[in-house]
Amino acid sequence: MFIFFDWTFWVFMVPAFLIGLWAQSKVTSAYNKYSKIKVAGRITGYDAARAILNANGLYHVQIERIGGTMTDHFDPRSNVLRLSAAVYDTASVAAVGIAAHECGHAIQYAQAYAPMKVRGALVSVTNFSSMFSMIFVVLGLIFSSPVLAYFGVGLFAIVALFQLITLPVEFNASRRAIDALEGSGAFKEEELDGVDQVLTAAALTYVAALVSAVLQLLRLLVIARNSDR
């Protein structure tokens, strides 16, 4: 019942939830639309990914099929590009765009793209901060300790920083994807436009994640300030 009387929840967390819901609906809509539109060359996500990787000298990067939907990712630890079955085997605009985007991450890693290196270095500390930031804030309230509360806020600030650094990494990967597909000469202009719409919609989820993190950080700061009174 406490949540109904916590004005910070309504002011900060509800808008964050709604923004995230809106962003997810945009990416789902774009994916559903362009997963039904086939590319003229019948190039699958795997074909597009292999061609882009090879064109950038990344012959050693393996491509694996994995389960799930929108589970596609590049794993820098094993230097493996993993594509969901719907992307790996499908010759759709959405599949090609997603595969190309993940290739963008592989290229970033190979070229030691600075924001990607910084984000990678922050993964462990971000996971810790995400798990324990609220615990320290609550402990600060329980023990009337501003030090504990502000320490929790500081931890969550790392989470917000991680989301901020994620933006250039994702936008750059999408830019690399569009450039690679356009440079191949294998796709029509309308197909490239569709890829751009899919990747733009996907990018909104990262913007929404940043906005959500900032709003939650502000909420925790307000709560910490209340513990200081």
- Where in the chain does DSSP place strands (E)? 62-66, 73-75, 80-84
Angle subtended at Cα 31 by Cα 92 and Cα 114, rounded to the nearest 5 degrees = 95
Q: Which residues are catalytic?
A: 102
Tokens describing residue 180: 């690679």
Q: How far apart are CA 214 and CA 46, in angstroms?
A: 37
Tokens describing residue 153: 């806020």
Q: What is the CA radius of gyration of the chain?
A: 21
Nearest-CA neighbor of 172 among 119, 127, 105?
A: 105
Q: Edge to edge, what strands does the sheet with 73-75 contain? A: 62-66, 80-84, 73-75
Handedness of CA 119, 116, 84, 189 (dihedral sign): positive
